[in-house]
Structure formats: structure tokens, C-alpha cells
Amino acid sequence: MKTDFLIIGAGIIGLSIAKTLQEKYPGKSISIIEKEKDVAMHASGRNSGVLHAGFYYTADSLKARFTREGNARLKAFCREHGLQINACEKVVIAQNEEEIETLHELEKRGRANGVDVRIIDEKELEAIDPNVKTCRFALYSPTTATVDPKAVVRKLKEVVIENGANLYLDTAYLYRIGLNRIKTNRSSFEAETIINCAGLYADKIAKQFGYAENYTIIPFKGVYLKYNGDDQPIVTNIYPVPNLKNPFLGVHYTVTVDGKVKIGPTAIPAFWRENYSGFKHFDFDDLTEILWYEAKLFVTNRFNFRSLAFEEFRKYSKSHLAALARNMVKTIDEKKFDSWSVPGIRAQLLDTDTLELVQDFVVQGDESSVHVLNAVSPAFTCSFSFAEWVVEQFVDRKGGSEKVRG
């Protein structure tokens, strides 16, 4: 089957790139293949639903470049299509005096990125949410919101199909059979440009095209603990001061689009790419490769991986996870945190040369194939703006100077 553009993976990034291509190349054919029976079956439909503001990231990063605009554009998309938005905002709180310095660093980054963010005192914090507890100051983000991620991705699917894209579900990439040809479990596809948005498998596909040579995906399992009660203990998202040396934001409170409260997520090292529960989707080759790299991280203790792994596995205990969240509020009934959310898996890129987790987005490619290798949080928020950048750099320029990023 021949097509002008072939996109592998129908998550938020793949569908956003399809939307961008339709807007820029209205006469071109676009085909999207997805190995699952529907869209949003993995990270795009299993994330927190938070639309981030963009103050965590240094000004020279792609994340900083796309988050603020992406936040506004996804809100506009939701309003246009009647999708619910919870404008619940967000505060980052300090546990002690030392963390106040990091609050000021986050405010500095946010302002450099053009984000509406400011330091507030305890009195101002009480007016936003009287149950939040902090040490003297907090960081206030009024543009943070939550949406239903599955609803967003499914509506985006409808939009690109209505505009002429062909979506092939239950169609899994198998291997490359030529410069611009691939084999799937159903048929072969040939395209002028192949765009790899395969998430957990993006590195494996990229290697078949000569990319991702010093990268591999290390999966981390994220689970939230849901609050089941008739009361509303908080009304805003509450985050701790993060460790800026790693890409995880720590256990926090999220107010979902329908007003429910959850805490998490975990960042537990997974042993194969779809290690959601039990031995479902078990892959022995995945297991051996991932365990090899996780063992190297454990032995070398890069980015303090050893203590991170031990601490994350402790979060399988509901009481332990609830205790971590308890100190962020004045009062909470911990027993009402009694059920787990559906787990998600973060497709985190590892630099195999330095054994460091890659913090920013990474895209590699040329005029015939493009590979989105590290579309981790806040990729959902950034999706529309990030997709435009990918098309500009790797499709519009056709061999321009910025072939490889990462």
C-alpha cells in the first residue's frame, strides 16, 4: 500500500503530527498504523490528564519551548469540540526552608519561559485552597488544568479521519523491508516519509533505520491511588518541590477533570515494555535487555538509581503512598485512598553511553524517516506545538540543517 506519509503509532503525538500534516499538505495522503484495537491504549490514554504550565524546564529545552503554547492550544481544542476542562490550577509547596530556594528557581524558569507563575505566601495559599500546607511560601500556577486524556485523543482521531487520514487499527509494525517500506502483520506499506511515533517501541524501530544508536527505552510504571469519599479534600493540584536532576515530579495530588482526587504517580522500574500487570504481554527479549541496563544503573548508581528503585517499590503499599501525601495537606482521611488507577508506563529514554535518563524530547531523522524517541511528560500538553516543530524540521525542510536533535 502506497501513501505519502506513514505514521507509526496513534497516540497523541502521532495523531497531532497527522493533524499538522493535513493542515500543511492538504493534497497528500496520510496513513496511520496502530497495533491496538483503538487509540489511547497506552501512555496517551493512561496519563494524569494534567495540562502543564511549563515552569519546570530550562529555557534552552524543547519542553520549555512548547509547553506554554501547547497548554493554550489544547484548551482551545477542548473548547472547540465541547470537551471538559477543569481549571483547577496548581501549587508547588515547600516542606522546609531549603526547598524555598528551589521554588524561586522554578519561578525564574517559568518567567523565562513566558509562563504565568508567581511565589505566594501562606495567606494567599489559604485563599486558593485552605487545606494545603507549606513552609512559608508556595509557587502558584493559574494556567495548569486537567482534561480527560482518552476523550482528547479519541476526538483528535475523529478530526484527522474526517479530514481524510486513513487509520489502520490492529496493524502492528513488524520490520523494515526497504528504504521507505515496512511490513506489518496485515500488509506492507510504502511511503515518501515514515514517521515513527511508536512510544515504548520507538527506539527499536529507529534502530532498524540507523538511528537511536546510543539510546534505549527504560520503562517506568506509574500508578495513582484514588480517593473514594463524598467529601472534596482539596480543590487544586498540589505538587512537592521536585528533584531537578531527574525527570520525575514526585508524589502529588491531582484533581481530575471530574473533580476526583488521586495521589501519585509511582515511577517503578518495569521489567518489560508492557509490564502493566502480572505476566500479560511478557517479552523475554525485553526482560533480558531491560534488566541488563537496570542492573548497570543499580551497580553504578547513576542519578541515585539504587535508592530511587527501593523507594519506588515501597510505593506499592497504599499506606506508604498515602503517608507521603499526608504531609502536603493539613488534614486528610488516608483510609479513603483505597483503590489503584489503571497503570501507565513511561517510555523513558536512556543514553546508553552516559547511563543518564534523557530529560528533554529527542527526535532523529532525515527526509525519508523521522523518529520521535523521547516523548515523555509533558508531551501530552505539548503535542500540537511539538508536532508542528517536528514537521517543520524534518518534513518541510527536506534535508535541512537540523536533521538530528538529541
- Residue 402, pLDDT > 70, answer no
pLDDT, tens only, 56-108:
999 999 999 999 999 999 999 999 999 999 999 999 999 999 999 999 999 99
Position 247 scores a pLDDT of: 78
Q: Residue 277: what residue type?
A: S
Note the helical H segments in 92-238. Answer: 97-112, 122-128, 149-162, 202-208
User: Which strands, in side-by-side order, build the sheet including 356-357?
Assistant: 268-269, 215-222, 344-351, 356-357
To the nearest 5 percent, what fractions of the chain are helix, strand and coil? 35, 25, 40
pLDDT, tens only, 286-323:
999 999 999 999 999 998 899 989 999 999 899 999 99
Position 82 scores a pLDDT of: 98
CA nearest neighbour of 65 among 379, 348, 333, 399:
379
How far is C-alpha 288 from the geometric centre of its chain's CA atoms?
Answer: 25
pLDDT, tens only, 133-153:
999 999 999 999 999 999 999
pLDDT, tens only, 234-266:
999 999 999 887 778 889 999 999 999 999 999
Mean pLDDT of 336-344: 95
- pLDDT band of residue 403 (cuts 50, 70, 90) is very low
Cα(127)–Cα(178) distance, integer angstroms:
61
Q: Report the b/e string of 224-233 with b at 16+ CB within 10 A.
A: bbbbeeeeeb
- Residue 400, pLDDT > 60, answer no
Sign of CA dihedral 234, 236, 237, 238: negative
Cα(160)–Cα(153) distance, integer angstroms:
11
Cα(247)–Cα(220) distance, integer angstroms:
11
- Residue 398, pLDDT > 70, answer no
Question: What pTM was computed for the model?
Answer: 0.95
Position 399 scores a pLDDT of: 46
- pLDDT band of residue 344 (cuts 50, 70, 90) is very high
pLDDT, tens only, 173-205:
999 998 899 999 999 999 999 999 999 999 999
Percent of the chain topping pLDDT 90: 91
178's grid cell = 526497504
Q: How would you classify the pairing of strands 369-372 and 188-196?
A: parallel
DSSP 208: H
What average pLDDT does the structure give for the chain? 95
Cα(109)–Cα(118) distance, integer angstroms:
11
Percent of the chain topping pLDDT 70: 98
Which residue's C-alpha cell is 515513527? Answer: 196
